[in-house]
Structures are given as structure tokens and as C-alpha cells.
Structure 1
Amino acid sequence: MLLRLTAAVAAVALLAGPAGATNTSRPKRPADPIPPMAEPISLEASLARVPTDLRQRLGLQLVLDRTHRQLLVLRDGEIRSRYPAAVGTEGWETPAGQHRVLEKVRQPVWTHPVNGKKIAPGEKNPLGSRWIGFYRDCKGRNGWDGEQYLDIDGCTVAGFHGTPHRWTVGRAVSHGCVRLYEENVQEVFELVRVGTPVTVLP
């Protein structure tokens, strides 16, 4: 999810699930209307949506197709894996363009963007067990000096992360981040490194 930070914290807001929601293998759906799931497309159609220059790129890269709400893992121009993904809702779109993995965090602590309340790692943490940050903008500045985040108020961040709310994956419901099923974000976490290219298709 994409949001404004009051300090240099990688906080991400999450739409609240129903009261007493639990993390089960079967996605839960709240009573309120939510955006529909993306329609699945074939592997060939997925690859056709990837621009030619990216298909010619060697090495590992991630490509997020916001329209079809899927994350593609490409190696040497071929799709190696596809994962359903929740993307930013209208007005909070996941930032399109060329990015890179900026950081990887196991068992991240989530900080509420408004009240500063922290949620420790665990089943109720909106980020799940992994955070893969790929976007940070601090009033027009990157906010990353190559080694650490700079302490700049008013930053916006986005990344890939897990979620305890499985029913949201495949929908446009986040505030800019990319939610993956917990088992999928763990796989992606092991594949990428800091510097891995990330492309978010318009």
C-alpha cells in the first residue's frame, strides 16, 4: 500500500477485515461490497503484456500486471512463476514504472501511519511475515542513500508483502502496496535480492 509517513518508517495501511477474522486456507469475504477478483489469463497472454524490452532482459526481474492483478517472475525473458496479487485501489494505485528492490525484511513490524501504533510480527500483522520494499518517495526525493533510509517526513512507500486477509488477494483493494498470499511472498522473498528490477505496468 502506498501511504504518507510521518517519520521514516516503512508503514503500510491495510483495509480492515471483518471483526474476529482468522487466517484460514479458505479466503473470507466481508459483508461490504469489494472490488471483484481479476479474471485469470493464459500464460501466453501474460507474456504478451510484458513489453519487448523486458522480455529481452537477462537475469531475474519482477513484473506486476496491475490490470490482471498478477505478479510475474521472469528470468531471461521467460515467465518462471505467476502469483495472484492485490493492488492499489482507485486513487491509491500502485506506482507504475521502473523500480528496484530496496529492502527485504523478515517478520516486519507494522506502524500505523496515523496514530503510530506498532503491531509486532505475528498472525495479526497486516504485512504478514515478509516485506519487500520497492518504492519510496520523500517529497520528490528517493529517501534511500544506498545503505539506509533517510529520516524525511512525508514519505510514501510501497512494497510486496503477505497478508492475514487472504480474501483481498486478486483484488484492487490496497493503498498502493502489493499483497501476496503468505506462501507466495515467502517464495518471492527467497528469489530476489536488493537491486532486483521491479516493473509495475501502467
Structure 2
Amino acid sequence: MVRNDPLARIVMLLCFITAILSLTLHWRISTSVPETATKSEGFNKNEPVDFLQKQVRHLVSLGNNLKSYSIPKSSSNRPAALTSPQNQRGKGLNASPQKKLVVDLSDRRVYMYRQNTVVASYPIGVGKKGWETPVGTFKVMHMQQFPAWQHPITGKVFAPGPNSPLGERWIGFWSDGHNEIGFHGTPDSELVGSPVSHGCLRMRNPDVRLLYEQISLGVPVQVRK
């Protein structure tokens, strides 16, 4: 059998050149890494471990760290705005300012306070003799638009509407289990400011609408003489 020596020598030469190129490429990649990166990330150019494998492991670890962070979401499942602690403290101070209603029976007015500052005041009619408005500290426990009313003596029921004795809004703050007392409108606005009610606090319909929009259930109500 005739040996093909020239072909064998060509194959060996190609293998040798390929090995030289591979070593050269590996050396250039290894020496191209900045010294600061090898120190901070734990790489050592003298280790016999392939640099590219370490780089891949490093990128995977960074990806895992990024997956562990989640953006806060609002109740609508949309990303919420990120705020600094200072902004959060400021928002907390301004959120849900404390409100209260103070009724002064002597001057027949109700005052609405926000953080101990009067922000609104309205004239009221108060309970007549024998039906005096109770004095004390209470809370708003019932709110209704266009309420019906039952007369406490005759039992007659008045339907909601412009002629209802309770007017357009009801804000109840006292009850003995059978009867309730609260703020309400009236079709007889000229009687506001007089002792004419069965203990309730009568208001002009435009005023009671404004008050209704500015408060909520649970707001304290202080009635004083």
C-alpha cells in the first residue's frame, strides 16, 4: 500500500496552526479583563478555569439578583410611583386630616374643624323647649340623601322630596334605639336659627349639602351649650 506522506503532513500542519490560534485567542481574552474587574468579581487570570465560563456564571448571578426585586404595585395592578422616605412622610402628614363638628347651641351654629382650624360654619335651628338637643360628644353614624321622615308623635311618614321636613340630606349622630337626632335640611329655611325642632339641627338645604360632602361616617360631633 502506498503511503500518502504529503497529505499527512498537510493535515498535521493544519492541526498545529489551529492549536496556535486557539491558544493566542484565549490569551488575548484573558489579558483583556481589567484588573479592577478581576479583583471585585473574584476572577483570577492565573487559574486554569476557562474565563468565559466564569463570565457566564457571573451574568447568571446578576440576573437572579434582578429577579428578586419587584416594583411596588397599586390596587389597580399598575406600577405605583416610587417615592423617597421624605415624600412618604410628607404624604402621611397631609393624608386624611382630622375633622370634627362642633355645635354651639348658644349662637346656633355648627363649626367644621380640620386639624383644629375652623374651615366652615353654618347656621342651624335647634331643639325647642321640651325637645332640647342633647349635649355631649358623639360620632356621625348615619348619612342619607333625600331621606324620608316619620313624625315622632303622630307616626305620619313623609316621603322624600322637596317638601320633606328633613330636606335633602340627613346626618345622624344620636339615637336611643328608636329615635335619631342629626343634621338635616328643611323646606322652611326662614326658621333656621330658631329653637323649633324636636331635637335635630335644621339647616338650609344648600348648607347641609355642603356639609354632607365634607364629612364621612365616624366624624366626631361635639354639642355644647
Normalised to the residue count of structure 1, the TM-score between the two structures is 0.61
Runs of 5+ consecutive residues of structure 1 not aligned to the other structure = 1-57, 139-154
| Structure 1 moving runs of 4+ over 3 Å | none
Kindly provide the CA deviation profile for residues 127-179 of structure 1, in whole angstroms up to 9, marking residues without a partner as x.
001000000013xxxxxxxxxxxxxxxx2320000000111101111110000
Q: Corresponding residue for 2:161?
A: 122
Asked if 1:75 corresponds to 2:114, the answer is yes
Give the CA deviation at 1:113.
2.4
Q: Which has the larger radius of gyration?
A: 2
The structure where strand makes up a greater share of residues is 1
Asked if 1:66 corresponds to 2:105, the answer is yes
Asked if 1:89 corresponds to 2:128, the answer is yes
Aligned-residue Cα RMSD (Å) equals 1.2
Normalised to the residue count of structure 2, the TM-score between the two structures is 0.55
Counterparts of 1:181 and 1:166 in 2: how far apart (Å)?
Answer: 5
What secondary structure does 2:208 align onto?
Answer: helix
Q: Corresponding residue for 2:195?
A: 172
Q: Corresponding residue for 1:184?
A: 207
Counterparts of 1:137 and 1:120 in 2: how far apart (Å)?
Answer: 23
Kindly provide the CA deviation profile for residues 15-61 of structure 1, in whole angstroms up to 9, marking residues without a partner as x.
xxxxxxxxxxxxxxxxxxxxxxxxxxxxxxxxxxxxxxxxxxx6110
For 1:121-140, what aligned pairs fall within 5 Å after superposition? 121-138=160-177
Q: Corresponding residue for 1:197?
A: 220
- CA gap of 1:90–1:163, structure 2 versus 1, over 3 A, is same
Counterparts of 1:187 and 1:163 in 2: how far apart (Å)?
Answer: 14
* Contact residue 125 and residue 196 of structure 2 kept, 8 A: yes
Give the CA deviation at 1:68.
0.2
What secondary structure does 2:176 align onto?
Answer: strand
Kindly provide the CA deviation profile for residues 100-120 of structure 1, in whole angstroms up to 9, marking residues without a partner as x.
001100110112223433221
Give the CA deviation at 1:90.
2.0
Counterparts of 2:152 and 2:195 in 1: how far apart (Å)?
Answer: 20
What secondary structure does 1:83 align onto?
Answer: strand
1:118 maps to amino acid? V
Counterparts of 1:89 and 1:114 in 2: how far apart (Å)?
Answer: 15
Which structure has more RCO (C-alpha within 8 Å, separation ≥ 6)? 1
Give the CA deviation at 1:67.
0.4
Counterparts of 1:175 and 1:119 in 2: how far apart (Å)?
Answer: 15
